[in-house]
Amino acid sequence: MESDRQIMKKNGIWISWEIQRRNKGISSSLKWPLYEIVYEDKRYRRYLKSLYKTTNILLKEKPDIVIAQNPSILLSFFVLLLKPLFRYKCVIDAHNAGLFPYEGKSKLLMRLSQLMQKFADCTIVTNHELAKIVANNNGTAFVLPDMIPDVPENRHYNISKSEVTFAYICTYSKDEPYMELIEAAKNLPEDFSIYFTGNYIGKVDLDMVPSNIKILGFLPEKEYWGLISSVDAIIVLTLRENCLVCGAYEAVSIKKPMILSKTSVIKKHFYKGCIYTRPYAEDLQDAMHQFYDRKEMLKKEVAELKIDLELHWKKQFDEFRDFLMHMS
């Protein structure tokens, strides 16, 4: 296509200081190289190594456009700071934690985030509510949700036979009400099994967990996909009002019904195949019972949702690619 040939005239790169599925999806669609700079050293040594590596990449690639993931706010600030020296366009892919570092509790970091939105050539966000925030900070926003991910082959995970099984996708962050879900499970039938993913060390006392919850810890990629492919439904919860949770995209990709947080942004984007809930034990119990009663209809709906979201994303991505192509 003509637009494909034109966009390749823009020498663009994508840089991230963590491994995140969104980066892979969009950068590969742009056919731009993705640099995932991940070191396991102590914080300050890791930062110094990452800054050095980032600088070397910029010197080597001499890009016209750099897309930097925020978080890290340090990476995004550094790429923005070097913009006049290297003469590239700076685009920041801002997650919720990028717009609101430390949940918005640091005045200094919030001010830095606002200035970055103002001076970046564009800030990519996942929904229109976040775009309004960027606009209020005198920035240019572009709305591009996550891409529905590809599902790996040869995935498998053995789960115990239960009447109904759920996978709870969790990172044990402050915005995730995992303790409320544990409380909810205590009053569920024993044959309602919930598998918790994610690194729980230091977050959950296993002695306090009821028998119908299985704490799995961090799973390798194929085991993780095997698990979420084997259960009846996926649970993903957040306390953030304007957050589109990554786990919901994964659930859509394998056509699994979802139990999601009852926020306007989530309900608007994931508008079928879901049960929506408030983050309280009684509400979570009710949501799981609702799923059990409606599971066949929800399965049909989420298959329809996948088709809708893939078509919508393709349209938004084409607009985004054209936006980059005409960035002067």
Going edge to edge, which strands form the sheet with 213-217? 213-217, 192-197, 164-168, 233-236, 258-261, 274-277
Fold matches, 2-144 and 164-308: yes
Model pLDDT for residues 136-158, shown as the tens digit of each residue: 999 999 999 999 999 988 888 88
Q: Is the pLDDT of residue 72 over 90?
A: yes
Q: Which tens digits make up the pLDDT trace of 302-325?
A: 999 999 999 999 999 999 999 999
Question: N- to C-terminal Cα distance for the chain?
Answer: 22
Q: What is the rounded average pLDDT of the residues 87-104?
A: 95
| Structure tokens, 80 | 């923005």
Q: Is 244 exposed, middle or buried (0-12, 13-18, 19+ CB in 10 A)?
A: buried
Is the per-residue pLDDT at 5 higher than 60? no
Query: Is the CB of residue 233 less than 8 Å from the CB of residue 295?
Result: yes
In DSSP notation, 100-143 reads SGGGGT-HHHHHHHHHHHHHSSEEEESSHHHHHHHHHTT--EEE
Whole-prediction pTM value?
0.92
Instruction: Tell me the mean pLDDT in the region 202-214.
Output: 94
- Looking at the domain 2-144, which fold is it? Rossmann fold (3.40.50)
The residue type found at 69 is Q
- The pLDDT value given to residue 9: 63
| Antiparallel, parallel or unpaired: β 233-236 and 258-261 | parallel
Half-sphere exposure of 289 (CA within 13 A, CB side): 11
The answer to whether 30 and 13 are in contact (CB under 8 A) is: no
User: Residue 39: helix, strand or coil by DSSP?
Assistant: coil
As its CATH architecture, domain 164-308 has 3-Layer(aba) Sandwich (3.40)
Q: Are strands 164-168 and 141-143 parallel, antiparallel or unpaired?
A: unpaired
The predicted structure's pLDDT at residue 158: 85
Domain ranges for the chain, please list them. Answer: 2-144, 164-308
The pLDDT, as a whole number, for residue 161 is 82
Please give the mean pLDDT across all residues of the chain.
Answer: 94
Rounded Cα distance, 166 and 182, in Å: 13
